[in-house]
């Protein structure tokens, strides 16, 4: 008979894991993850700076004593930073030099937690890579940290900064004439790379007559550096240069005049002089010519080269000299005279275009803070063919409207490429499409196939990637190999994922160029002031009894359909409708979404809702005074532009996803017209069934927003709900009927919604019976006894005698 087939189950599980990983952006494979197997990460990144403080003494609470490693300066009061040996940096937001220190830390480190008075940052290899990519030098970073710090800088931190920055920023990936080149002003660096067998296999050896080659086959050329472009002269802040030659101070911030005077007087002289020195060096560098060497590489192996260069300690910087590009035609687009950029939008764009070239990278701005305007401005600055990639068809329509609102582009210049809208692309300068349309692997229609071929043949000047945190999924990564673009700009509000693939963006697109502070934008009125609240809804005895004894999938349906949660949702909707507010109710579970919406007689949008119906519901929500509440599933998590909404109620969510929590908050973050800045003008409610696993999920979901400085208010009882008339599920009989509906629902009703682009559902093992094999899960066999008259009417006389 042979040995038993023991490995069949593991093989099938492996196939499922591969399918899940290919399609699900948030898939985490805990069994396969190994901290020591860090593919595509430089050796510098593998050196954990936090392990350098192992010798520090700890107290009973785990706090470490660094006094022996850090010497306090005499003028520490006027300096804003504490730099710990484990790489964590603490910034006093009330310091007079906060502005200088904050901009500097955003450039060199990753924000960890930013409450109102004290911010925490962390030095990482990738954050230092991003600092080098925007022009900061190793000695500048170390010297400025020393001047800002209250104490001496630990030796381990200095060594870590040198290790991560000395080899970074020396190699660039350039697209010329529809061909990719590895370029560097240091020939010895390219020769080192070409000794690597992986990079040798990716190199293309072709004769290029109009370029000069050396004996190693490297192409030599001379570049002229240009000054950086200026953005929106109307919105530029007034810059005051102190007479003593100190650092400039910005006078159009929300600080009071007294705060501004304190800042000008109290800034230590060594900080201001060094600030000017860095600026002067940048100006001198812009005016000089640069001799570079390069070699051509295979386009299909770009991701392999990027990963390998990171492992060799020479990450590739992607830059585009758009002003000197004579091959690709300019498009006739510019910002409208009425368009005014906000200061933080200008700052992010200056990071991108700081040296006269367009750097590839990621800009992180809160939802509702104007990411679309940043993307439109970047396209207007480059003035070459632009490709914009979005998550959904609704987002495509919104991006088209954004281009028409902020720029001089018209319908003839903008082309849409979605499943429902296929404009003719020939002659257009801006193409807006979705990730799924580009990565579609099934057979296309003839028209879509022709558009796709045209798209791949073009040499795009700039590619704008909206909601860029989805890119690390393998399905979406194909976009970067299918389409050729000189510059890639990623836009997102939540640069985080529940897996560890967010670091892949560093070599797929580029480093993080800028990240805004949510609370700071809220104080200055650029985004809404939101009151976050968690409403605890007790489970009814009958529902909780079933919850304790049922399987996991049924538990989800029970705590979502909790009658007390339904009533809390109904009360909050009525309360805010009386105030004249616009309310969005989110539910990941479609069974609950339909039940809540139909019972309350409200419109709802979910996956199968057609594009025309979605637009009609959204238009009514925006402009119809009688439609003040809509129910939506997770299809509206991203790219739904609803500036009128100021209340969000969450009844069901995707486990402990921090990203989804932040994205949903962003639906109501857009600044409200005519609102008083000191008062809350938006409300974010999360309804949680008490004493269920939903409470644990809620805690995990809130981590990102808490780190941004938001606080959640816990509400155990809604005042006035017991006195509200005509509330549903108030009696025990109504609650019992609802429980029967929930218990009779299929297991699939407890699943979250499946939306296009997420891939197949995971396989779930569940108990069944013989009837399940025939698909008769919900069917019951009944015998009906007919009346005697009808049963004997058509029978043969011989049988009537025996069957009456």
Residue in 758, 21, 667, 762 with CA at minimum distance from that of residue 391: 758
Name the CATH topology of 220-289+333-522. Rossmann fold (3.40.50)
Across the range 124-150, mean pLDDT stands at 86
Instruction: Tell me the CB-side half-sphere exposure of residue 118, using CA atoms within 13 A.
Output: 5
Q: How far apart are CA 315 and CA 308, in angstroms?
A: 8
Confidence of residue 449 (pLDDT cuts 50, 70, 90): confident
Please say if the pLDDT value at position 567 is more than 90.
yes
Q: How far apart are CA 131 and CA 125, in angstroms?
A: 10
pLDDT digits (tens, 9 = 90+) for 630-657: 999 888 876 677 888 899 999 988 877 8
- pTM of the complete model: 0.75
Please say if the pLDDT value at position 2 is more than 50.
no
pLDDT digits (tens, 9 = 90+) for 473-524: 676 677 877 888 889 999 988 877 766 677 777 767 888 889 998 888 888 8
Please state whether 180 falls in left (phi above 0), alpha (psi between -120 and 50) or beta.
beta
Element (H, E) at 520: helix 518-523
Is residue 118 within 8 A of residue 92, CB to CB? The reply is: yes
Is residue 388 within 8 A of residue 433, CB to CB? The reply is: yes
Residue in 190, 136, 129 with CA at minimum distance from that of residue 160: 129
Residue in 470, 451, 540 with CA at minimum distance from that of residue 509: 470
Residue 144 in tokens: 């400025």
pLDDT digits (tens, 9 = 90+) for 543-557: 999 999 888 888 889
Across the range 270-287, mean pLDDT stands at 59
Taking residue 726's Cβ as centre, other Cβ atoms within 10 Å add up to: 7
Q: Among 109-113, 235-239, 465-469, 769-773, which is the least confidently predicted range?
A: 235-239
Across the range 299-317, mean pLDDT stands at 82
Residue in 209, 197, 179 with CA at minimum distance from that of residue 295: 179
Of the ranges 101-110, 253-262, 301-310, 318-327, the best mean pLDDT one: 101-110
Pairing mode of beta strands 361-364, 512-515: parallel
Instruction: Identify the pLDDT of residue 78.
Output: 83
Of the ranges 48-52, 81-85, 168-172, the best mean pLDDT one: 81-85
pLDDT digits (tens, 9 = 90+) for 213-253: 555 567 776 555 555 566 654 433 333 333 333 333 333 44
DSSP 30-70: TTT--TT--TT--HHHHS-GGGGGTTSEE-TTS-EE-TTT-
The H helix count followed by the E strand count for the chain is 30, 29
Determine whether 239 is exposed, middle or buried from the number of CB atoms within 10 Å of its CB (0-12, 13-18, 19+).
exposed
Q: Among 205-209, 676-680, 707-711, 759-763, which is the least confidently predicted range?
A: 759-763
Residue 501 in tokens: 């693939």
Please state whether 38 falls in left (phi above 0), alpha (psi between -120 and 50) or beta.
beta
> What 3 state SS string does 533-549 have?
EEEEECCCHHHHHHHHH
Q: Among 97-101, 214-218, 740-744, which is the least confidently predicted range?
A: 214-218
Q: Which has more confidence, 536 or 48?
A: 536
Q: How far apart are CA 665 and CA 369, in angstroms?
A: 12
Question: For the chain, what percent of residues have pLDDT higher than 70?
Answer: 73
Domain spans, the chain: 43-165, 171-219+290-314, 220-289+333-522, 528-747
Answer whether 220-289+333-522 and 528-747 agree in fold. yes
One CATH from 3.40.50.300, 2.160.10.10, 3.40.50.620, 3.40.30.10 for 528-747: 3.40.50.300
């Amino acid at each position: 008979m042979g040995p038993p087939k023991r490995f069949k189950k593991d093989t099938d599980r492996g196939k499922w894991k591969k399918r899940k990983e290919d399609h699900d952006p948030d898939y985490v494979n805990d069994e396969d993850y190994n901290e020591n197997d860090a593919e595509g990460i430089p050796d510098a990144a593998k050196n954990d700076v936090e392990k350098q403080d192992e010798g520090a003494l700890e107290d009973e609470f785990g706090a470490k004593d660094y006094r022996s490693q850090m010497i306090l300066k005499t003028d520490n009061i006027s300096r804003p930073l504490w730099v710990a040996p484990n790489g964590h940096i603490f910034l006093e937001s009330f310091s007079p030099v906060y502005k200088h220190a904050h901009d500097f830390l955003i450039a060199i480190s990753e924000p960890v937690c930013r409450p109102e008075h004290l911010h925490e940052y962390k030095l990482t290899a990738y954050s230092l890579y991003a600092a080098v990519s925007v022009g900061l030098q190793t000695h500048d970073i170390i010297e400025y940290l020393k001047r800002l710090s209250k104490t001496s800088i630990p030796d381990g931190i200095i060594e870590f900064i040198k290790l991560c920055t000395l080899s970074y920023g020396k190699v660039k990936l350039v697209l010329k004439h529809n061909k990719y080149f590895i370029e560097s002003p240091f020939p010895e660096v390219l020769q080192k790379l070409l000794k690597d067998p992986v990079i040798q296999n990716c190199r293309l050896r072709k004769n290029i007559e109009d370029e000069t080659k050396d004996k190693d086959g490297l192409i030599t050329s001379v570049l002229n550096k240009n000054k950086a472009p200026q953005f929106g002269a109307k919105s530029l802040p007034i810059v005051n240069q102190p007479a003593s030659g100190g650092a400039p101070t910005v006078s159009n911030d929300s600080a009071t005049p007294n705060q501004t005077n304190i800042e000008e007087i109290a800034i230590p002289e060594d900080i201001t002089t060094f600030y000017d020195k860095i600026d002067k060096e940048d100006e001198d560098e812009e005016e000089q010519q640069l001799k570079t060497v390069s070699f051509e590489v295979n386009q299909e192996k770009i991701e392999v080269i990027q990963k390998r260069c990171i492992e060799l300690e020479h990450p590739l910087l992607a830059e585009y000299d758009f002003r000197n590009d004579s091959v690709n035609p300019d498009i006739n687009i510019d910002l409208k005279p009425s368009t005014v950029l906000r200061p933080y939008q200008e700052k992010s764009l200056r990071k991108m275009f700081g040296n006269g070239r367009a750097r590839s990278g990621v800009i992180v701005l809160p939802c509702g803070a104007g990411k679309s305007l940043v993307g439109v401005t970047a396209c207007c600055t480059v003035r070459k063919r632009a490709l914009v990639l979005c998550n959904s068809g609704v987002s495509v329509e919104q991006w088209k409207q954004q281009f028409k609102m902020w720029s001089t582009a018209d319908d003839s210049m903008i082309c849409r490429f979605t499943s429902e809208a296929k404009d003719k692309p020939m002659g257009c300068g801006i193409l807006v499409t979705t990730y799924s349309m580009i990565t579609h692997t099934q057979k296309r229609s003839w028209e879509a196939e022709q558009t796709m071929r045209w798209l791949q043949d073009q040499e795009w000047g700039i590619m704008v990637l909206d909601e860029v945190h989805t890119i690390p999924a393998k399905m979406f990564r194909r976009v970067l190999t299918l389409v050729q673009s000189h510059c890639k700009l990623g836009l997102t509000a939540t640069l985080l994922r529940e897996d560890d693939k967010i670091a892949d963006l560093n070599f797929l697109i580029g480093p993080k160029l800028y990240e805004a502070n949510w609370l700071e934008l809220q104080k200055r009125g650029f985004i809404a002031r939101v009151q976050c609240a968690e409403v605890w809804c007790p489970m009814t005895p009958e529902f909780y009894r079933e919850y304790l004894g049922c399987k996991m999938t049924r538990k989800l349906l029970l705590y979502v359909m909790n009658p007390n949660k339904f009533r809390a949702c109904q009360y909050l909707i009525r309360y805010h409708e009386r105030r004249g507010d616009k309310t969005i109710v989110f539910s990941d579970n479609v069974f609950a979404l339909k039940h809540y919406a139909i019972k309350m007689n409200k419109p709802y949008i979910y996956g199968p809702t057609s594009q025309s119906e979605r637009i009609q519901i959204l238009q009514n929500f925006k402009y119809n005074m009688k439609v003040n509440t809509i129910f939506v599933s997770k299809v509206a998590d991203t790219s739904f532009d609803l500036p009128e909404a100021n209340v969000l109620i969450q009844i069901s969510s995707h486990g402990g996803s921090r990203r989804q929590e932040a994205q949903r908050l962003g639906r109501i973050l857009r600044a409200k017209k005519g609102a008083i800045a000191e008062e809350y003008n938006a409300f974010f409610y999360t309804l949680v069934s008490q004493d269920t696993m939903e409470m644990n999920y809620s805690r995990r979901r809130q981590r990102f927003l808490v780190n941004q400085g938001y606080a959640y208010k816990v509400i155990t009882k809604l005042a006035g709900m017991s006195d509200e008339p005509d509330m549903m599920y108030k009696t025990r009989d109504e609650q019992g009927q609802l429980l029967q509906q929930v218990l009779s629902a299929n297991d699939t009703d407890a699943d979250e919604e499946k939306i296009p682009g997420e891939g197949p559902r995971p396989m779930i093992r569940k108990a069944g019976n013989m009837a399940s094999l025939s698909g008769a899960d919900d069917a019951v066999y009944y015998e009906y006894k007919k009346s005697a008259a009808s049963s004997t009417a058509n029978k043969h006389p011989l049988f009537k005698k025996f069957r009456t």
